């Protein structure tokens, strides 16, 4: 049902029912009812009609909004898969080309490193593509399983602390959160030279916080362009989550990435 039709019903249905009863009362049964009884009756009738109509109308609006929300979440997931497909095409194609070059030159160690990189990218791609929006899979378990796989692939230990209420995030938010984790851990593996990291994701009432902290070599953030791919991706995803993003890093002192959000704030904008 369109909003225009709902607006028309809102105007006509109460008017016709209540106005029709009043017309019927004054023209047909006025001699059977006293004025006081008629007033009581129209008051009760107005209450019943208003309650029934408001319940029906708000239920219709709720279902319509839920359908719109589901469509947005589906679109977010499909957009993420399109982005993933493009990344795989670009990154793996380039890596395979470089792998062929190393193999021709007999650089076996460099080639082995590239094979590990391809393996990591494919595992991450498979994880993303397995996220079926129609399946209500526990996000905490799915995220923990991915972190366990990443430990095996990267050789970097993770101390994880996930305290997440079931259903706290929408499917679209889960996609963006995993994208942040994926991007951050890819950069840690490539550049940080870390051997351990701490991952925390906590939710409490309407507030949530995620921290990713490594013990790597860190970097001078002032020397990194704001258009740098990794930082740009983190910023873009944090904006889609309507949360704050902080990156605390210094040379030889590791890096900490923090995201903080408020679900009540999300609903108000």
In whole angstroms, give the CA distance from residue 130 to residue 146: 12
Q: Which of 252, 163, 250 is nearest to 209 (CA)?
A: 163
Q: How many residues in the chain?
A: 269
Percentage of the residues of the chain whose pLDDT score is greater than 70: 79
The residue written with tokens 């007999």 in the block is 106
The residue written with tokens 């990591």 in the block is 120
Is the pLDDT at 221 greater than 80, yes or no? no
In whole angstroms, give the CA distance from residue 198 to residue 269: 32
In whole angstroms, give the CA distance from residue 205 to residue 34: 56
Per-residue pLDDT, 27: 74
Dihedrals phi, psi of 201, to nearest 5 degrees: -140, 110
Highest mean pLDDT among 29-33, 45-49, 186-190: 186-190
Per-residue pLDDT, 210: 96
**Helix (H) or strand (E) segment spanning residue 208:** strand 207-214
Looking at per-residue pLDDT, the higher value among 29 and 259 belongs to 259
Summarised one tens digit per residue, pLDDT across range 82-139 is: 766 666 666 677 677 778 888 888 888 777 767 766 766 666 666 655 555 445 557 8
Give the Cβ contact number of residue 208 at 10 Å: 23
Summarised one tens digit per residue, pLDDT across range 229-239 is: 677 778 888 99
Tokens describing residue 181: 């984790």
Residue 261 CB-density burial (10 A; 0-12 exposed, 13-18 middle, 19+ buried) = buried
The greatest distance separating any two alpha carbons of the chain, rounded to the nearest whole angstrom, comes to: 108
């Amino acid at each position: 049902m369109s909003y225009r039709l709902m607006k028309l019903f809102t105007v006509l249905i109460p008017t016709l029912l209540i106005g029709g009863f009043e017309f019927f009362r004054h023209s047909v049964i006025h001699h059977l009812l006293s004025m006081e009884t008629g007033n009581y009756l129209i008051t009760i009738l107005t209450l019943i009609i208003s309650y029934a109509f408001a319940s029906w109308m708000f239920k219709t609006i709720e279902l319509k909004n839920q359908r719109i929300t589901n469509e947005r979440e589906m679109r977010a997931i499909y957009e993420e898969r399109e982005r993933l497909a493009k990344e795989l095409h670009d990154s793996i194609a380039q890596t395979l080309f470089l792998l062929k070059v190393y193999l021709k030159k007999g650089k076996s160690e460099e080639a082995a490193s590239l094979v590990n990189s391809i393996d990591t990218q494919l595992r991450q791609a498979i994880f993303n593509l397995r996220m079926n929006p129609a399946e209500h899979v526990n996000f905490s378990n799915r995220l923990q399983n991915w972190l366990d796989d990443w430990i095996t692939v990267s050789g970097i230990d993770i101390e994880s602390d996930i305290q997440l209420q079931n259903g706290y995030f929408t499917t679209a938010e889960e996609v963006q959160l995993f994208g942040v984790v994926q991007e951050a851990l890819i950069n840690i593996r490539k550049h940080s030279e870390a051997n351990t990291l701490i991952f925390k994701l906590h939710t409490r009432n309407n507030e949530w916080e995620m921290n990713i902290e490594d013990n790597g070599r860190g970097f001078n953030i002032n020397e990194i362009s704001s258009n740098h791919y990794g930082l740009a991706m983190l910023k873009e995803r944090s904006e889609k989550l309507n949360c704050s993003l902080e990156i605390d890093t210094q040379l030889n002192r590791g890096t900490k990435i923090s995201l903080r959000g408020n679900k009540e704030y999300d609903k108000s904008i």
